[in-house]
Structure 1
Amino acid sequence: MNFAFTDDQILLKNSVRAALDEQCKPAHVRAMMEDAKGYGETLWGEMAKLGWLGLPFAEEYGGAGLGLVELGLVLEELGRAAYPGPYFASVALGGLGLVLGGSAAQKERWLPAVASGTARLSAALVEESLDWDPASTGATASPRGDGWTLTGVKRFVPWAHVADAVLVPARAPEGLSLFLVDPRSPGVSLQPMVGIDLATRWSEMKLGGVTVKPDAVVGQPGGAGSLLEALLRRAAVCASAEMLGAARRCLDMSVEYAKVREQFGQPIGSFQAIRHRCADMLMAAENAHAAVYYAAWALDAGAEDAAVAASICKAYVSDAARQVCGDAIQVHGGIGFTWEYDLHLYFKRAKALEPLFGDAEYHRELIVRHVAA
């Protein structure tokens, strides 16, 4: 079986890197940390023109009709650049959520708008318990007239302050259900949450008796459990792809630094301890690469081991990215953790993604349950 990238996939990866190298330099990332919205509309519009925003959507909805492997290639490059913006939230969370379970009307309403850059989506998948198991959902949905009333608190909702709609799981009388909620609706309040990665924006989303119409239900009432599990698997693999990009950037910076930084009259890269550390970093990054793209392929292909592959991917890449990015700081020495040096941008991106959609321990538990079943 050949898992080498096709010519088209290599062209996509190279074009994304070239565009981000030009338009998403570290200076841009730092500037967006101080920006009220947190991302630049000019770059967002360029991403729409290049087709990145509709990459995994069907062509009938303005997308490219590509799969998770191609989406992973884009996300890897976004992680390499520490891109500040709602791409992951809008495409990999909200967009894929509608692809998996949305009605024809919901897809027609939202996917072309996301692909064109005129709308942004997000998903509120975790609550105060910080448990990524959909069964832990505590928010409630009560029937009211011909609609629903939602009550609850969601934590760490990515880019909710710029989203036009948020996917919100809540427990209805029929069971766990998924709703599209306008974050500007009466009864919704957003409170900023600050994380380690200042280039990513989070919000606490409080639902105080928010009324939604019947057409806001994604899928069937009570049928969101399997949909959310499928979405979380894809989100875990997509987050792993972004962590891989951040880790590769840290590795590249370490190798370049080891070539030019001199100590005792010679480059530090000539010292065995540094060479071995960089070799271990490369091995971890390459193994993470294999884990990410096999899991992406398995989910797209509906492979028998897709669920396990997704958990193996997230568990391994979470540990590998932490190792590579942490070792990069050790290779650089004192300058590695200064604010002025750019290394921390990628370290923090990887660290912020590590617990999302289940950390390594959570996914190892899922693997054990699957094997023991």
Structure 2
Amino acid sequence: MDFTFSEDQLLFQESVKDFLMNEVTPETIRAAWQTDTGRSDGLWQQFVELGLTGITVPEAFGGLGMNELDFVLLAQEAGYVALSEPLVHSALVAVPTILQLDNSEFSAQWLPKIAAGEAKVVVGLAINGLVEDAHIADLMILESGDAVYAVTQDQATLRYNESIDLGRKLFSVEFDQSVATKLAGGEFAQNIIAGALNRGALAAAAQALGATQRMIDISVQYTSERKQFGVAIGTFQAVKHHMANVAYKLEYAKTPVYRAAYALANGLSSAERNVSHAKIVACEVADLAAKNSIQVHGAMGYTWEMDLHIFMKRAWALNSSYGTAGFHKQRLAAYVFSDDALLGAGNTFAA
């Protein structure tokens, strides 16, 4: 098994990273909080011009035809800047869900619009309870009972729910099933839902990696500038250890996330447990980063004036998105304790 990133993938990551660092700053994030939608049409248009809105849309529908492994590094960079626009959701959840429906007419109707940035589609799953970005969605693909429905704005009633992360816009959505379009039912619908859950969990894990790195960088910079007894507090061993404990765990968390992306992109039978492994370790290190970053900042780390709280709150939100740690540990346990489990390094890293 080889999920090493190609030179092109790494160069694409660097170019997107440079763009996001210039365009999505703590100042622009705070400015977006003051707007009605919390989203920037101008930034979305820039995504369109860069081809990012169509990155996972097949070439036949006007996209670039890439997959989860191509996009996972970009999702990581989106987490680094705490991106609020639904770019990651669109690329890793909405587009693959439409493709999994295997409905040529439905795909032809929506995928070209997504690639061109003319339509935003969001997927709402029961496991999340609330639907993020429902207020700006041209179409919502919603789980309800044992079926999946396509719901437009005029067919739904939205109720806003506040989040600890002001960059997230969450809504409860009510709709009449007799008016909405039923896309799938029964076992087929459950497969659609399972696929969306796995890709959503991967998206959360990848963004958690980025948020963790940002909290490390913010804390290192702060401890290099903050002085006590005439020296930077970053020179104290106790402070160094706090961030070192996050940094090495972050490195260990990356490989499971990349493996999960590979498994989803290649349709491996292990994808579900690979995703759960990735979600657990990525969100655990993000939570640790939040805890230790507060420690090295002192009480002021949680205050509104500090940029740190933007990324801490995003990490906390990602932890409970697309399944809590308990949910994903149960999925792993179901496999590990099964009679036919293939365990050990020889099986873990086999092709």
The reply to whether TM is greater than 0.5 is: yes
1:170 has 2:144 as partner? yes
Matched, 1:107 2:77: no
Distance 1:240 1:163 in 2: 23
Contact 1:122-1:165 at 8 Å conserved across structures? yes
Higher-strand-fraction structure: 1
Alignment match, 2:342: none
Residue 163 (structure 2) aligned to one of 190, 195, 220: 195
- Residues 84-123 of structure 1: pairs in structure 2 closer than 5 A: 84-123=84-123
- Aligned twin of 1:228: 193
Q: How far did residue 318 of structure 1 move?
A: 1.7
2-structure distance, mates of 1:183, 1:221: 25
- Alignment partner, residue 154 of structure 2: 184
Q: Which residue of structure 1 lines up, in the alignment, with residue 305 of structure 2? A: 340
More displaced, 93-102 or 250-259?
93-102
For 2:9 and 2:37, the matched residues in 1 are separated by 32
1:286 alignment counterpart: 251
CA shift, 1:25, in A, is: 1.1
The answer to whether the Cα contact below 8 Å between 1:89 and 1:158 also exists between their aligned partners in 2 is: no
TM-score by length of 1: 0.86
Work out the number of aligned pairs and report it: 338
1:276 aligns with 2:245: no
Q: Which amino acid is 2:150 matched to?
A: L
Does the 8 Å CA contact 1:318/1:359 hold for their aligned counterparts? no
Deviations 1:143-182 (A, max 9, x none): xxxxxxxxxxxx31010011011111233xxxx2211111
Q: What is the letter of the counterpart of residue 334 of structure 1?
A: A
2:141–2:150 CA contact under 8 A, matched in 1: yes
2:154 counterpart SS class = coil
Matched, 1:160 2:125: no
- Percentage identity across paired residues of the two chains: 31
For 1:209 and 1:256, how far apart are their aligned partners in 2?
Answer: 52
Give the distance between the partners of 1:112 and 1:120, measured in 2 at CA.
11
- Closer/same/farther in 2, CA of residues 276 and 205 from structure 1, 3 Å limit: same
Contact persistence 2:68–2:92 (CA under 8 A): no
Q: Which residue of 2 aligns with 1:311?
A: 276
Unaligned 5+ segments in structure 2 are 339-351
Indicate if the aligned counterparts of 2:62 and 2:112 stay in contact, CA closer than 8 A. Answer: yes
SS at structure 2 position matched to 1:184: helix
Deviation per CA, 1:228-265, whole angstroms, max 9, x where unpaired?
Answer: 11221111011111111111100111122222221112
Structure 1 pair 97/276, CA: closer, same or farther in 2 (3 Å)? Answer: same
The offset of 1:2, in angstroms, is: 4.6
**Matched position secondary structure for 2:66:** coil
My pick for the range that moved more, 317-326 or 2-11, is 2-11
Residues 166, 182 of structure 1: 8 Å contact kept: yes
Give 1:139-150 correspondences, 5 Å limit. Answer: none
Distance in 2, matches of 1:309 and 1:114, equals: 28
- 1:295 corresponds, among 249, 260, 264, to 260
Aligned to 1:151: none
How far is the alpha carbon of 1:73 from its aligned partner? 1.2
Q: What's the offset of the Cα at 1:86?
A: 2.2
Aligned residues: CA RMSD: 1.6
Distance between the aligned counterparts of 2:184 and 2:260, measured in 1? Answer: 25
Q: Please state how far the C-alpha of 1:222 moved relative to its aligned partner.
A: 5.0
- What amino acid sits opposite 2:140 in the alignment? V
| Separation (CA, whole Å) in 2 of partners of 1:65 and 1:302 | 16
Offset of residue 94 of structure 1 = 2.1
The answer to whether the Cα contact below 8 Å between 1:98 and 1:218 also exists between their aligned partners in 2 is no
1-structure distance, mates of 2:292, 2:171: 31
Q: Which secondary structure does the structure 2 equivalent of 1:204 belong to?
A: strand
2:34, 2:178 → 1: CA distance? Answer: 31
Q: Is the 8 A contact 2:3 2:262 kept in 1?
A: no
Is contact 1:102-1:218 (8 Å) kept?
no
Return the offset for 1:76. 1.0
TM-superposed deviation, 1:371: 2.6
Counterpart-to-counterpart distance in 2, 1:220 and 1:62: 29
Please say if 1:242 is aligned against 2:210. no
Q: Partners of 1:300 and 1:3 in 2: how far apart?
A: 10
8 Å contact kept, 2:78–2:210: yes
TM-score of the two chains, using structure 2 as the length reference: 0.92
Please say if residues 32 and 84 of structure 1, whose CA atoms lie closer than 8 Å, have aligned partners that are also in contact: no
Q: Is the 8 A contact 2:92 2:203 kept in 1?
A: yes
Preserved contact between residue 250 and residue 347 of structure 1 (Cα < 8 Å): yes
